[in-house]
Structure 1
């Protein structure tokens, strides 16, 4: 596990919990760009959070928001595609040996581009409708499910290179990734 604090919420409004993670992603990306930070520890922390967050959203949040008609199938599927793209960009960062190379900087730049695009889009097209169309009780129940799954994923060391490779391979098989982007 990593010494970097990823937070460990156990409950709360699911929208706020997701936003808290989004701010963590932004901080971790900033730290990945900072050549004086422990970039290896940061990328491991980012990997754990990215996988845990995506898995929890796809398992609980997206299906519930679809059921409540807060988001359509298109938004949920697009969110999953963007998670897969994020995992793919993350894999490129994790596979690099050194963290002080141009290749690392380029991989981090691509990761930041993909993740920041997803954060912005998700906040606009998924979280806003969730705020408007889903009551506080359901958001609280969903928050607990999201937090529980997220923490379990982190505890299971979900951000390992092996696991991220497996997730990217599965996403490619499911058609969530365009192979022409490699």
Structure 2
């Protein structure tokens, strides 16, 4: 297994495409990584680091490049944009719990993974229904290609900056709490 290339932990480096297809490709990657995270025979530490990098890069690229344009094109409204951002923050919060655990073979780790999977799977489903479907219907092929390029460019920049490291995830969660995107101290 030299250099970890072509393993399922390869997060992909797309350089262009239809933004809807690119986002869906990442959604399938999340599902694969969550399966590996649940599997006690996998290298769960490597998987959680890969998941963290993908989760942060994907969410930041959507929030900076995709959601605002879909809003100006009226494919989604303010509520849908804010809800997507809230769910990213909740995902980051659940991710932080997974990253901060020392061991990966404990009940605490399994519980944290279950919480993360619940948040992320809920978000993938909702985003595909309420954001990606309108993007398909309301936005031209050319705009989806332009958004695809912006999305992969920001995604790559995030990955290059090691966006999934625990300090960065912690800072994103703290900012979301400060900005009122996340309820502070886990109040629901």
Question: Which residues in structure 2 correspond to 1:1-182 (within 5 Å)?
Answer: 3=4, 4-179=9-184, 181=186
Deviation of residue 41 (structure 1)?
0.2
Deviation of residue 180 (structure 1)?
5.4
**1:105-160 deviation line (CA, Å, top 9, x unaligned):** 00000000000000000000000000000000000000000001001100110000
Deviation of residue 70 (structure 1)?
0.2
Unmatched segments (≥5 aa) in structure 1: none
Deviation of residue 18 (structure 1)?
0.2
**Mapped partners of 1:146, 1:135: distance in 2:** 16
State the 4+ residue runs in structure 1 displaced beyond 6 angstroms. none
TM (normalized to structure 1)? 0.98
TM (normalized to structure 2)? 0.94
Q: CA RMSD in A?
A: 1.0
Deviation of residue 178 (structure 1)?
1.7
**Secondary structure of the corresponding residue to residue 106 of structure 1:** helix
The number of equivalent residue pairs is 181
**Mapped partners of 2:49, 2:36: distance in 1:** 12
Unmatched segments (≥5 aa) in structure 2: none
